[in-house]
Every structure is written in structure tokens, then in C-alpha cells.
Amino acid sequence: MRGGRRGSGPWAVAAWTLAITLPLAFLALFFLWPVVSLIATGFVADGRLDLSGIPEVFGSARTWHVIGQTLAQASLATVLSVALGVPAAFVLYRLDFPGRTVLQGLMTIPFVLPTVVVGVAFSAVLGPGGPLAALGLERSLTAVIVALAFFNVTVVARTVGTFWARLDESASHAAQVMGASPVRAWLTVTLPALGPALASAAALVFLFCSTSFGIVLILGGREFANVETEIYRMTVQFLDLRGAAVLSLAQFALVAAVLVVSARLRSAGERAVQLLPDGRSLRRPTLRDVPVLAVFAATIVLLHAAPILTLAARSLRDSSGEWSVANYVALVQPPQEFPLSGSVLSAIWLSCRIAFVAALIAMVLGILIALVLSRRPASATARRGQSLFDALVMLPLGVSAVTLGFGLLLTMHRPLGIGLDLRTSAALIPIAQALVALPLVVRILLPVLRGIDPYLRFAATTLGAAPLVVLRTIDLPLLGRSAGLALGFAFAASLGEFGATSFLVRPGEQTLPVAVAELISHQAPGAYGAGLAGAVVLGMVTAGAMLIAERLRIDRSALGSRASGSWAGSRAEW
Amino acid sequence: MMHTHAHPAARRATRTALPVLGTALALALAGCAPAASHDNGAGEGDPKTVTLAVHSSFPNEEFAKAASAATGYEVSVIAAGDGGELTNKLVLTKGAPIADAFFGVDTIFASRLVANEVVEPYRPAGLAESFEDLAILPEESSGAADSSVPFALTPVDQGATCINIDPAWFAEQGLTEPQSYDDLTKPEYRDLTVLLDPTASSTGASFLVGTVAKFGEDGFADYWQALMDNGARIEQGWSDAYNGQFTQGGGEGTKPIVVSYGSSPAFTVSEDGAATTSKALLDTCSNQVEYAGVLAGAANPEGAQAVVDYLVSSEFQATIPDTMYMYPVTSDVELPETWARFAPVPSETQLNDLPSADIEAGREGWLKTLSEQIGL
């Protein structure tokens, strides 16, 4: 009966069709077509299909070294991120202390910091003259893993934390009353309940780590290269499109496997857990929380603060090592020989404008996608189509920025017969950034929509509300609450985006991350220092955007009370 | 009854949703319009505009202004990445070029453009005769220095990749300064050298070419092995090596020997301009020429030729030392005083060079050899 009613209005059908086709068309045009075109180029020789690259590339020891490195780095970094992220989730989302919400906001910053900045920061800490140079970790697997954890501890803390915050722990208390130790109660009761959230976070982190580019290139060098940096080397240095295409397919396979496994883990671990409205489960820290607090403090101080502060300190010294603001002055009034077009202020302004457009595109498409994915269609075919759609949206996270950049170059010459050469147009920059931000937006909005009690929609429908009325009166108001956060994330991610932007052909102006990268690698005296200062400015602007976004996030207790206590089956995702 | 409810409501919702969506996308695209003001594609449809594709550290805006004034065309500049990235983008877009002309492909990648027939031969009138030898000729021409043969690639500036050292560091340690390639493998200079990964940096590739020129195809790998055995460190990019590792790089570096440029000592000059704190070893240099050319299939070939003419004109050549840290290809330009004093040009007998075609033919094999022998 419900299904019949949903399809009843032709306008509703038209609206849903639009909600599906608009994002699909965007992804097909600006993502699938370019990427498939470039990969296809690698498999065509003299107009014929040529698969000889596959055995050749997989026959090389270097390929297996790179694949091995990718898997090792991603697995170890995921383990470390989860190990440090769970204590952080507990402290930030279960304990009540002054400054908790500010700290929650601050903890999201590392994730959106540009890789150029973090790479430089870690080199500054571990490299010659850095505070931890004596550890000899500078060119090592450990350095790469720790830097990857820098970004991803925050992903785990947030994903697991927001779920944990609403977890009803009375079962755990009951276990303790019946004699289980707190550790045992945690392991046997709480941990299984957190399972889906942990699986979801771990899969996301694994995905990010296995396709990481900038940080691995800077810190890993050739020895610790991963598939992503190897594709870069093959495409950019050797024009070995055949080899790059084979590695891209290997990367596809890896990403697809991660997405499938994570979906399985999520649904296997999904169970009816009792969730409470946000904020009910908080308690004051006690003495027995000291070990967890210590781990959390060490994470913040050593993993996050140390690299950022070292970078900031470096940016405040001139070439002779004296304290000075000369680097910042040079950013505002750049000497003629700097590789900057205009001052850094114009780069910030341009970056903000482009990031705003990118965030807007990502939001419009992300809201449509989240609405489509949040429905629970009755037919199995529709559900399968839905999960394919979901995977397609996540795919930009798992495809090399080089492949996308060069693919756009191949396909955007008057695409679809439009008389405009998009390849050299600045319009391509926000489009590429939106592709990167889109999965984040969907992952933030989707849990909110899926968390809406199905009974609420059902009740509204039974009372005679048309599907679009349900959408307007139930979905959209709830969506609005996390829209601010999603917008902030999209904006910050676009602002710091370096990989995809740097591989586009850019007319004139530079975005801030590109300007920083060019300053750092320029020979002009003072350019390196100014680049460090630019990195600090970039970090501050992105951090500011994130903090404002956190503010925009209206307390979710209202949502909790409306959607009643039963959140059975709600998914633990962003 | 359900229908009478559904329709007006649905229509209302869609009516508000669609314009909002439309406006958002229109805004999204319009938002890019100011930034896209340089977007003339490849000068399509407008014979007065001409587009130049360049490497990343190029003074885009000043060049566009000055070149527009000088050529009478409306010149726009697009950045397409450094070294290999720029080259490969030009090769991939062959037939539908992203610009009319290009500048910034160096010796290492030059032959790839010629071999892939990306360029339209053109000989600018203004190139000083003494620098004509640097030009790269089309494949079919015999290489005779006939003044009527057009160039495939026109040289615009040149520099040298050389080992740089920190003389004060050696004085402090009571060590003699190294002089040659071979010195770097001696035990007294153990753990002091920073090299660049030739698979990631064109400066690194240029140093590799120098070692092949010096030790031959059969001997260079043994030399690299000796360098590695002597504790050489390999960085991915010039900045990581020079700014990050070199003792005079402005950072906290600890290594007194680094692969850099012949002109680098001109930038470590003390404030009074009396002395420099670094020095290039002129016997370890190889030449790096940066080329320009007209792209085959350019929408505005005459405009492209005018821009190439401008690139070798004395007006533009005079700006090269200050903006790009390279030497001009004309003797008319007076070099900055610090260059004359601290950054002498290596003599032709000192340079370790190979023809560009040999580099293109051999490079992949050399890198493979290095990869097998020293695990690079």
C-alpha cells in the first residue's frame, strides 16, 4: 500500500528521477568518463585492444613491492588510528568536562589540513634539526604510518564517538553489577555494540590510507611508495599510461574490495542497539578514567600538536634562525621573484571563492544522493541499484588524483559538443574539488536521514501526507541540522584540496595550497620560509572554517527526542 | 482523494525545489566566471588571442601584460605543471592542443615532444646566432646548421645542474673541499651528500645525465652504487634536498653537499653582498636548457610564433635571471652582479652533456638499471 502511494504522483516520480539523475550525470561526466578514458588509453595500442601490460606489470617485482607497501601502510595506519581513536572517542563523547565541545571541534581539524602542510610539518619534526630528529624515524615506514594516523584518528574518534554518545550502557552496568570487571564488561558488552561503527570507521580509514598521495610522496620517497604515488610517477614522469592503467585497475579492485567488506561488516554487526538521545550518557571523569585520559592527552600532544607547533615555530624564524615575522610579511608583499601571482591575500580570497562553489555543488548533489540512499525500497533490484549508487559516490575517494586530472584533460575539450574548452577553464577546479568533497557530505548527511525513525514517516503517510510533504516536513528539517557541518567539511576539504587541483591546467591564479607548494619548492631566497608561513595560514583558514561549521551544528538532542528512543537498525556512519 | 492531496502539494514542493537547485548550479558556475577570465581555450575563434602553456614557476601575469603589449595579441598564460607533467600533458592533448605555444620543457623531456610530433617547426628570427646550437631540430632534418632549417624547439634560457657545497662547513671540519664526481665517493665525505631521485625530479634526472655523460652507459651505475655505499641520501624534490637537508639551505639541514644549480650560490650571498656561503663544483655540472615552441594544430599559429619571437627577444631575455634564475640565451643581457661574481657559468669542456635524443632513448633504461642495481 505504501509503495503504491509513493509512486502515485507524477511529480514525485519526476522529483525522484531528478534526484537520481542529476548526481549520476555529474559523476558520469566529470568522473567516470575521464577516468575510464585515460585507463582505456593505456589498454589500446595502434587502435587495438592490448592487454599485454597486465602480465608485464604484475610480473615486475616493483609492482608487488608497491602493492605490499600500500597494504602494509593502510593496515598498520588503520590499526593505529583505531587504537588511538577509540580512547579519543570515549573522552570526547562519553565524558563531561569543560571545553569538551571546543575540543571536539579542534579534533576535526587534522582531517581537513592539507597534505602539503602536514607533510612539511612531519618533516620539520622528524627531519634534521627537528625536536624528534634523534629518533631516526625520518624516512621510515613508521613516519608514514604515524602521519597517516594524524589525519585518521579524528575520523575514528568522530565516527565511533557520535555513535557511542547515544549508546545505552545499562547492559554494561548490569554486567558489572553481576560481577564482571569493567574491562570485561567493556569487551563483552560495549565493544560488540560499537562493532558496526568501528567497522565503518576502519573501512573509511583504510580507504583514505591506501589511496593517500601527498603525504606518502613527501615522507615515503621511492622506497615507501604506494600504488597512488606509483601511478603518479608512471603518468607524470614516464608517460607510461599502460603501466598506470594496470595499476589503476589494481587500485579499483582494492577499493571495491574494501567497500564490499565494509558493507558486509556493517550489516553483519548491525543489530538493534538501544540508543539514547545525545547528551544523556555523559558523566564526569573519575580516577579510573586516568589511563584513557593519558592516552588521549598523549595523542593530542605528540601526534597532533607537536607537528603543527613545530611548523608554526619554523615559519616564525628567518633564514639565519632569528625570530621574525618576515615570512608573513613576504606573503602579503611578495618580492617580485616569488612564484606568486599577486599576494597571498588574493590566493586566500580565490581559494575561498572556489571552495565555496565546490562546497555548494557538493551540498546540492550530496543532499540529493543522501535522500535517495536513505529510502528503504521494497524491491531487491532497487536495493541493489541503491548500493551500486552508494559505491559510485564513494569511488572518487579511491581513484588517483593524477588519473582524474589527466583524464579530464583528455575528455573536457568541448565536452558533449559544448563550444567551450573546459580543460583550461578555472570552472574545472571547483568541479574536481566537489568530487572529492561529495563522499564526505554524503557520509555526514546519510546517518541522520537513516536515523529517522521509520515509524515517523510511516505515521505521516498513514495520516495522509504525500511523499513530498513527508520529505518537506520530516526529512528536510532534520537534514538542516547537520547541513551546516556538512557544508563546513565540504568547504574545508575543498579549501585544502591539493592533489586533483594541482594536476589540472590552471589559468593564471593559484589556490592557496598550490601557492604553498610552489613557494616551498622555489629557489628564490625566502620562498621556502614564506611557503611555511603560507602553510600555517592555510591551516588556520581551514581550521577556522571547521570551527564555524561545528558551531552551525545544532544540538542533536532535539532530533533525539523527536525521533523517540527506538533507533533500532540505525547505521553507524558519518 | 489521495490524488487531490498529492498533486498541489507535490507541485508546490517541486516548484520551490527546482528553481533553488537551478539557481544554486547557475551560481556555482557563475562563481567561477571571474576566475575564468583568462579562459580563451586555445584562442578559439578569436585570431587576436593567443595562449601560452608554461611550467609552474613562471611570472604569468607580468608576462601576459608585457607580451600582449609587445606582440599586439591578447596573450594569456596557463600553468600545466613542471617538467614531465607539462610535457606529458602536451603529448596527451596532441591534435587538440590546450594552448597555441608552450614554454618550459627542458633538455630531459625535449625529445619526447619532437618524437611525438607535438610541435610545429618554427625558427624565430631573433635568436642570437651563438645560441643556435642549443636548438633542437625536427627529426627528419639532418642536423645541419643551415640557417633556413626551422627549429622543432627553440631555446629560451639555460642553466646548469651542479653539485653545491658549503665551504665553511669543510673549513670548520678541517676537510679539503671535494672537487669532482669521484671525490663524493671517498670515505672522508661519507654521509655528507644529498642527491635527487631522478625518477621524480628533472633536476635529479639532469644530474643522472651528467653521470652517464661522465662515466658512460656501462659505468654510471657503478658510480651511483659507490655514492650509495658512501651514504648518499636521496630526496624526492629539489626543495626537500636543498631547503630541508643542505646546511646552507635556510632550514636546519645537516648535509654540506647537495645537487642543485650553478646559479644557487648567487642566492646565499651575505647581506652586504660581499661573499656567498655556498659554491658550485663546476666539474660536476650538466646543462639544462628550457625550450619553447609552437604547438601543432594551434588555433592561432601566427600568434604562437609571435609569442616565441617575444620569448627570445632582448626585452624578455633581460627578465630571465631575476624571475627564473636561469641564464638568458643572448649575450646582450647584463647579468646581475652577484651572478657574475658568485655563479660563474661552467665552460663547455667542464659540462657533462648528452644530446637530447640520446637522453630520451636511454633514460628509461638507465633508471631501470639504477632500480635493479641500487634499488632506487
Picking from A155, A117, A111, A544, the residue whose alpha carbon sits closest to that of residue A352 is A544
Q: Predicted confidence band at A4 (pLDDT cuts at 50, 70, 90)?
A: very low
User: Contact at 8 Å (CB) between A503 and A429?
Assistant: no
Residue B155, pLDDT > 50, answer yes
Best of B37, B44, B78 to disrupt the A interface (most A CBs within 10 Å) is: B78
Whether B372 contacts chain A with CB within 8 A: no
Residue B17, pLDDT > 60, answer no
Alpha-helical runs (H) found in A524-564: 527-552, 557-562
Residues on chain A touching B80 (C-beta within 8 angstroms): 505-506
**Mean pLDDT calculated for residue range B120-131:** 88
Q: Predicted confidence band at A148 (pLDDT cuts at 50, 70, 90)?
A: very high
Q: Provide the percentage of residues in chain A whose pLDDT is more than 70.
A: 91
Residues on chain A touching B25 (C-beta within 8 angstroms): 361, 364
What local confidence, expressed as pLDDT, does residue B39 receive?
39
B144/chain A closest Cα distance in angstroms = 30
Whether A222 contacts chain B with CB within 8 A: yes
Best of A349, A441, A491, A523 to disrupt the B interface (most B CBs within 10 Å) is: A523
What local confidence, expressed as pLDDT, does residue A221 receive?
76
Question: B257-261 and B327-328: which strand pairing?
Answer: unpaired
Cβ pair A520:B6 closer than 8 A: no
- Mean pLDDT over the full length of chain B: 83
A2/chain B closest Cα distance in angstroms = 12
Mark which residues 339-368 of B lie under 8 Å from A by CB. 364
Give B257's strand partners.
Answer: B165, B193
Give A45's strand partners.
Answer: A48
Whether A357 contacts chain B with CB within 8 A: yes
> Which three three-digit cell numbers place residue B63?
608576462
**Mean pLDDT calculated for residue range B332-336:** 85
User: Contact at 8 Å (CB) between B244 and B251?
Assistant: yes
Rounded CA-CA distance B38/A426 in Å is 9
DSSP letters, B166-232, are: -HHHHHHHT-PPP-STGGGGSGGGTT-EEEE-TTT-HHHHHHHHHHHHHHHHHHHHHHHHHHHHTT-
What local confidence, expressed as pLDDT, does residue B294 receive?
96
Q: Which is higher by pLDDT, A34 or A397?
A: A34
What local confidence, expressed as pLDDT, does residue B28 receive?
44
Q: What is the pLDDT of residues A326-378, one digit of tens each?
A: 889 888 888 877 777 777 888 888 899 999 999 999 999 999 999 888 887 77
What local confidence, expressed as pLDDT, does residue B142 receive?
58
What local confidence, expressed as pLDDT, does residue A15 receive?
83
What local confidence, expressed as pLDDT, does residue A26 receive?
95
What local confidence, expressed as pLDDT, does residue B157 receive?
93
> Which three three-digit cell numbers place residue A293?
585520559
What local confidence, expressed as pLDDT, does residue B1 receive?
33
Cβ pair A339:B57 closer than 8 A: yes
pTM greater than 0.95: no
Residue B43, pLDDT > 70, answer no
Best of B89, B235, B364 to disrupt the A interface (most A CBs within 10 Å) is: B89
**Amino acid at site A446:** L
ipTM: 0.83
What local confidence, expressed as pLDDT, does residue A398 receive?
79
Residue A266, pLDDT > 90, answer no
B293/chain A closest Cα distance in angstroms = 18
A238/chain B closest Cα distance in angstroms = 7
Residue A500, pLDDT > 50, answer yes
**Amino acid at site A13:** V
Angle between helices A115-126 and A512-520 (to 10 degrees): 30
Rounded CA-CA distance A436/A174 in Å is 45
What local confidence, expressed as pLDDT, does residue B37 receive?
36
Q: Which is higher by pLDDT, A53 or B168?
A: B168
Q: What is the pLDDT of residues A60-75, one digit of tens each?
A: 888 999 999 999 999 9
B95 Cβ partners below 8 Å, 6+ apart?
B296, B297
Q: What is the pLDDT of residues B252-273, one digit of tens each?
A: 788 999 999 998 998 888 877 7
Whether B95 contacts chain A with CB within 8 A: no
Q: Provide the percentage of residues in chain A whose pLDDT is more than 90.
A: 20
**8-state DSSP, A245:** H
